[in-house]
Amino acid sequence: MYEEIKSRAVDLTKTASSSEIIFNALRDEIISGRLPAGKAVKQEHVAKLFNVSRIPVREALMRLESQGLVFNQRHKGYVVTPLSTDMVAEIYELRANLEPLIMVKAVENMTQETLEEARAYCDSFGEETDPSRWGEWNRLFHETLYRDSNRPYHLKVIDGAIDRVDPYLRAQLILTDGMDTARKEHMGIFEACAKGDAELAAQLTREHILESYDALVGYLKQNQSS
């Protein structure tokens, strides 16, 4: 528990951004699934790891709470937020409407450099044999394709939405046959972007998101009933 955080636990007493560093460390642990849903995050323990008072830890936890990644439970403190099927539906509804719009804007301005970088991530995703890295390559591929949209606020909203489902999406990719489907869909999206076909890229992106939603909901329902 907290092994990955401990590796980043340096003396922050002289650092103005200690809250930011703690926030990023805890966020990474939650998104990776190393801090699972329902797990309590003890302020005193985190403060000791980073050699700080509870103040920056509390600030970091309040930011995580504002993003929906933790919640403050009476008598227990901050706890990693479980994900309900209703919340998944809401998040994917937002994604299915917003990400195709972002894709259209991105393709209109997409550079050759962006295409080359996205293709590299697409290939890395397809060739990766370590399941623990599938989620990372998947996210980098999509983030790169959206980068040229020049919509920083939209991208921030999408980033927060993906944060909420990322631990479950990674598990779904590992424990189901989602990888084969995702590989094919990624290549289709990339080829549409390479051709400059914004509408097709947007359509394929929406279909990709909805396919992911169906697989994730099926995975969640199976695990909740088991």
Q: pTM of the full predicted structure?
A: 0.71
What pLDDT, on the 0 to 100 scale, is given for residue 88?
87
SS3 9: coil
Burial 13-32 (b: 16+ CB within 10 A, else e): eeeeebbebbbebbbebbbb
CATH numbers and ranges of domains, the chain:
3-80 (1.10.10.10), 85-225 (1.20.120.530)
What pLDDT, on the 0 to 100 scale, is given for residue 69?
82
C-alpha to C-alpha distance for 14 and 18, rounded to whole angstroms:
9
> Which residues touch 40 (CB under 8 Å, ≥6 apart)?
73, 76, 77, 78, 79
> Which residues touch 122 (CB under 8 Å, ≥6 apart)?
141, 186, 187, 190
SS3 70: strand
With beta carbons less than 8 A apart as the criterion, state whether 9 and 49 touch: yes
Q: How far is CA 22 from CA 17, 41, 53, 73, 127, in A?
A: 9, 12, 12, 20, 33
62-65 LR contacts (CB < 8 Å, sep 24+):
63/19, 63/23, 64/23, 64/26, 64/27, 64/30
**What is the mean pLDDT, run by run of 10 residues, along the chain of 226 residues?**
60 66 90 84 94 93 86 87 84 95 98 98 92 86 97 94 81 73 95 98 96 83 62
What pLDDT, on the 0 to 100 scale, is given for residue 34?
85
> Which residues touch 114 (CB under 8 Å, ≥6 apart)?
144, 145, 147, 148
What pLDDT, on the 0 to 100 scale, is given for residue 48?
94
What pLDDT, on the 0 to 100 scale, is given for residue 219?
73
Closest CA to 40 of 75, 79, 70: 79
What pLDDT, on the 0 to 100 scale, is given for residue 209?
94
C-alpha to C-alpha distance for 46 and 155, rounded to whole angstroms:
30
- Please state whether beta strands 77-80 and 70-73 pair in parallel, antiparallel, or not at all (unpaired): antiparallel
